[in-house]
Chains A and B, each alone.
With several copies, the nearest count.
Chain A
Amino acid sequence: MAQVTCVVCEGQVTLPEGAMEGEILLCADCGTELELVSLDPLTVEEAPQVQEDWGE
């Protein structure tokens, strides 16, 4: 299983099966939400906090 480095704590985060671009991953070490911005090359960033719930 592919792994990627957490941008906050540099812990190793395992990608779920069939992970897709835009998916949100949770860093088990520090709890940061990471956005899988690209699969090739494998890149993550901190996932943005979305202000309002778009149902509103």
Chain B
Amino acid sequence: MIGVVKIGGASGNDTRFLLEDLARRVRSGERWVLVHGASGVTDVLCEAAGVACRYVTSPSGYRSRYVGPAERALFEAAALSFSCRLSSELAACGVAAAVLRPDAARTARAERKAVLRAVEGSRRFILRDNYSGTVSAIDRLPLESAWKAGALPLLPPLAFDDESGLNLNVDGDRLAAAVAASIGADVMVILSNVPGLMEDLSRPDSLVRRGSLDGWERLERMAEGNMKRKLLACREALEGGLERVVLSDSRCERPLTHAVEGGGSQLWNSLSALRSSMAVAG
């Protein structure tokens, strides 16, 4: 089994359940890659350093963090510190995690969104010194040499931009999707603090249990805010060759096993794959 699991980057997140579950599966011989986000821990570091977080909105209404030179440096440092927290907790579970920093390990490359348009009320702006990026390429070699050394590859939400020679912050979910496609993973699991894709966020019993690329518009219509980006990442993984991706809850006891064994929202690359999974589930 080769899998990719993505978790959030909030400093308060209780990652113990996930890391124990992941460590158990790694020790049993499964090959995993752990990708994490960093927005929560970045806010904490920006505040400590007295750097105000600025948000900007794209012409089509997407609200994102503005990443100038100072924010980039803080985002990178916060993301890597969170990687160290996860690697320390994994070491305590008997698993060696190899934190792969993209400028050193060249795991992920990014294209910088150097020119952006933003709107503020009725006014519109061109942003030029933005340092966030989109993942453009993955090199699987460093991941494989980490496995060969008996380690779990652990990736912060960063990718290397040859032009600027800097690590840019990228969307962790889409980085996980690009990695999953590049290593031909059997499954990608995105864990967050919601049960999965919800038809109606106010109704806890409205979890969408299954979906596939064939009915993707229906899923997209339900998604709100961050879930839109998670769905985009899921589609990129499925179109990148994965048979299955799962959106599931990180707050249960064995969150990874729960997701792999059918919990949360199971999203398949085709209707037929979805049907055969139901036949198997019986």
Task: Give the contacts of B112-135 with A (CB-CB under 8 A).
Answer: 113, 115-117, 123-128, 132
Report the minimum CB–CB distance from A36 to chain B (whole Å): 9
| B interface secondary structure, majority | mixed
Chain A 7-25 near chain B by CB (<8 Å), digits 1 or 0: 0000000001000101110
| A interface secondary structure, majority | loop
Other-chain residue from B61, B117, B229 in contact with A50 (beta carbon distance below 8 A): B117
Question: Across the interface, do A23 and B124 meet the contact criterion of CB distance under 8 Å?
Answer: yes
Question: Across the interface, do A48 and B123 meet the contact criterion of CB distance under 8 Å?
Answer: no
Question: Across the interface, do A47 and B62 meet the contact criterion of CB distance under 8 Å?
Answer: no
Question: Across the interface, do A53 and B62 meet the contact criterion of CB distance under 8 Å?
Answer: yes
Other-chain residue from A16, A24, A47, A53 in contact with B60 (beta carbon distance below 8 A): A53
Contacts of A55 in B (CB 8 A): 58, 60-62, 64, 228-229
Question: Across the interface, do A20 and B64 meet the contact criterion of CB distance under 8 Å?
Answer: no
Question: Across the interface, do A47 and B232 meet the contact criterion of CB distance under 8 Å?
Answer: no
Instruction: State which size class the interface on B falls in.
Output: 20 to 34
B29 at the interface (CB under 8 A from A): no
B59 at the interface (CB under 8 A from A): yes
Asked if A22 meets B125 with Cβ closer than 8 Å, knowing A50-B116, A54-B64, the reply is yes
Closest B residue by C-beta to A23: B125
Contacts of A54 in B (CB 8 A): 58, 62, 64, 113, 116, 132
Contacts of A35 in B (CB 8 A): 126
A37 to B80, CA, bound (A): 35
A22 to B120, CA, bound (A): 12
A52 to B214, CA, bound (A): 24
A24 to B125, CA, bound (A): 5
Closest B residue by C-beta to A55: B62
Chain B CB within 10 Å, residue with most, of A20, A47, A54: A54
Task: Identify 17 new A-B residue pairs, CB closer than 8 A, beyond the known A23-B125, A50-B117, A55-B58.
Answer: A22-B126, A22-B128, A23-B124, A23-B126, A24-B125, A24-B126, A48-B115, A48-B126, A50-B115, A53-B58, A53-B62, A54-B58, A54-B62, A54-B132, A55-B61, A55-B228, A56-B232
